[in-house]
């Protein structure tokens, strides 16, 4: 085995040479990224930011046409500016030509979607299709990297597809394979990509490991955050991380249910346990359930993987069950306050995205709530700083949906207000305006944003998560 920093070591191992001199890259690397969605576009833009030559490929012609003009429809901090700059500098280009993408990149990143199937398993059809395209068109050695979130064993499946097709073609090009899961938080994805807390590399190839070390050199300068492991461990690490976060959320939501029944305040409990450094404060905020494109899907896929090995994942199934119930909690609270009859009620919603900083409404608690309200004859008056267009796209023909231009407008003529997403914009509201507008003076807080006593002093009925309900004080 040659030395990574020796400029001809890869050639001696029958591998085409990467541009290295004296342990440093002597030019930007050529990278192809398949998929221009959330993960693919962020990955492509961040690699281009570091001076690499990136070609991002997608089959969606309209999306590619928009991206070529610098039109980014994903709401992610700094992403549109980064894409625009990379287009100006020529470090990032977009194409629908898969053959061009295969020819371009020394590194071939697969970052396509893996949505959940009806049985909970991840749909790998797009991943496998990209693998076939690469194998059908590659004429030179390539490093194939799976960035998509995939079940354990997927890299082996991709390896079998690619090597099998190369053998059929009787082509002597060499492919190396790497699992490189992403750990991006929506709303902070660019920062997470540029300054990662860990870079997980799953491969059984020393050459591929060293090539990935070279690729991530600009992201890994101050501290060595590169973790090299076998591919199946890398694949499981991604699911394990999201399952742990989901577990913390469901644990706090179950604790909130107990707190409300025994007369405790879960926010005080949260502070008490979070002060323990073994626990910490991350992801121990009770609320109305987790959503988004990652936690629900990845939890479901991990449960499916466990069952496929004849193991019953009791804890993971409980986490999913608690979350499903929690996403119904806001509706149950409304139904209680309206004595079981919501026909004709007008309910104001503040927040539609599944979390602040994004317009993503996949698996969002707001959708569960709105659909239940509509089924019971209620009208929804909603506002969200970023997710209004996405809401229109999802519910284009819903006559009981009113999208308000701002938070105050959503209150006009409403019977009650429900806080669904904890946007900073909602943290210091005009409680006097709420009292004036809300016909029932009812505020249901799905994110525990407010001080119950303060709300009660403003003459509002306050019902939050894991806290005793407050009625208006006599002084109000």
- pLDDT at position 27: 62
Q: Do residues 319 and 295 touch, judged by C-beta distance below 8 A? A: no
pLDDT tops 50 at residue 13:
no
Average pLDDT over residues 426-430: 97
Closest CA to 345 of 308, 375, 312, 306: 375
- pLDDT at position 18: 56
pLDDT tops 60 at residue 72:
yes
- pLDDT at position 469: 78
State the DSSP string of 134-192: HHHH--S-EEEEE-S---TTHHHHHHHHHHHHHHHHT----EEEEE----PPTTSHHHH
- pLDDT at position 362: 95
pLDDT 10s digits, 258-274 = 999 999 999 999 999 99
pLDDT 10s digits, 179-197 = 999 999 988 999 999 999 9
Closest CA to 438 of 428, 451, 429: 429
pLDDT 10s digits, 31-66 = 999 999 999 999 999 999 999 999 999 999 999 999
**Average pLDDT of the chain, as a whole number:** 93
As a whole number of angstroms, the distance between CA 103 and CA 87 comes to 20
C-alpha 66 chain-centroid distance: 22
- pLDDT at position 8: 41
Q: Half-sphere exposure of 342 toward its Cβ, with a 13 Å CA cutoff? A: 24
pLDDT 10s digits, 324-376 = 999 999 999 999 999 999 999 999 999 999 999 999 999 999 999 999 999 99
The confidence band for 471, taking pLDDT boundaries of 50, 70 and 90, is confident
Structure tokens at 152: 């354990």
Higher pLDDT: 16 or 215? It is: 215
pTM over 0.85: yes
| Residues tagged active-site | 294
Q: Which residue has the tokens 């007008």?
A: 346
pLDDT 10s digits, 377-406 = 999 999 999 999 999 999 999 999 999 999
pLDDT 10s digits, 215-257 = 999 998 876 899 999 999 999 999 999 999 999 999 999 999 9
pLDDT tops 60 at residue 20:
no
Higher pLDDT: 220 or 448? It is: 448
- pLDDT at position 224: 82
pLDDT tops 60 at residue 4:
no
């Amino acid at each position: 085995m040659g030395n990574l920093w020796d400029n001809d070591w890869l050639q001696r191992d029958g591998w085409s040479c990467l541009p290295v001199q004296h342990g440093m890259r002597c030019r930007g690397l050529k990278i192809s990224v398949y998929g221009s969605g959330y993960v693919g576009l962020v990955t492509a833009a961040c690699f281009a930011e570091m001076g690499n030559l990136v070609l991002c490929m997608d089959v969606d012609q309209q999306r590619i046409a928009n991206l070529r003009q610098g039109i980014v429809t994903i709401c992610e901090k700094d992403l549109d500016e980064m894409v625009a700059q990379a287009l100006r500098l020529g470090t990032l280009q977009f194409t629908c030509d898969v053959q061009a993408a295969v020819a371009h990149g020394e590194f071939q990143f697969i970052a396509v979607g893996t949505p959940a199937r009806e049985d909970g398993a991840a749909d790998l059809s797009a991943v496998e299709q990209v693998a076939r395209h690469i194998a059908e068109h590659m004429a030179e050695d390539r490093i194939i990297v799976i960035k998509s979130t995939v079940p354990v064993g997927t890299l082996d499946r991709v390896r079998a597809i690619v090597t099998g097709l190369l053998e059929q073609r009787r082509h002597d090009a060499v492919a190396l394979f790497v699992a490189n899961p992403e750990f991006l938080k929506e709303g902070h994805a660019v920062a997470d990509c540029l300054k990662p807390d860990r870079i997980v590399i799953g491969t059984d190839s020393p050459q591929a490991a060293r090539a990935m070390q070279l690729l991530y050199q600009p992201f890994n300068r101050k501290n060595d955050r590169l973790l090299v492991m076998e591919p199946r461990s890398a694949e499981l690490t991604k699911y394990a991380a999201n399952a742990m976060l989901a577990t913390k959320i469901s644990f706090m939501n179950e604790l909130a249910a107990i707190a409300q029944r025994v007369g405790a305040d879960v926010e005080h409990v949260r502070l008490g346990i979070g002060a323990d450094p073994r626990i910490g404060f991350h992801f121990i905020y009770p609320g109305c359930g987790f959503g988004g494109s990652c936690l629900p899907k990845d939890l479901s896929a991990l449960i499916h993987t466990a069952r496929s090995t004849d193991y019953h994942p009791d804890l993971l199934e409980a986490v999913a069950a608690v979350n499903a119930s929690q996403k119904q909690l806001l509706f149950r609270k409304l139904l209680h306050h309206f004595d079981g009859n919501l026909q004709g009620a007008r309910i104001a919603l503040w927040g539609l995205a599944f979390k602040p900083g994004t317009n993503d409404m996949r698996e969002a608690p707001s959708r569960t709530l709105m659909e239940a309200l509509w089924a019971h004859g209620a009208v929804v008056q909603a506002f969200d700083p970023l997710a209004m267009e996405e809401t229109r796209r999802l519910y284009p023909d819903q006559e009981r949906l009113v999208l308000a231009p701002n938070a105050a407008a959503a209150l006009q003529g409403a019977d009650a207000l429900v806080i669904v997403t904890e946007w900073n914009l909602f943290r210091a509201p005009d409680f006097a305006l709420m009292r004036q507008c809300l016909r029932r003076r009812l505020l249901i807080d799905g994110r525990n944003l407010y001080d119950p006593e303060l709300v009660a002093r403003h003459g509002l009925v306050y019902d939050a998560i894991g806290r005793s309900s407050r009625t208006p004080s006599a002084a109000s």
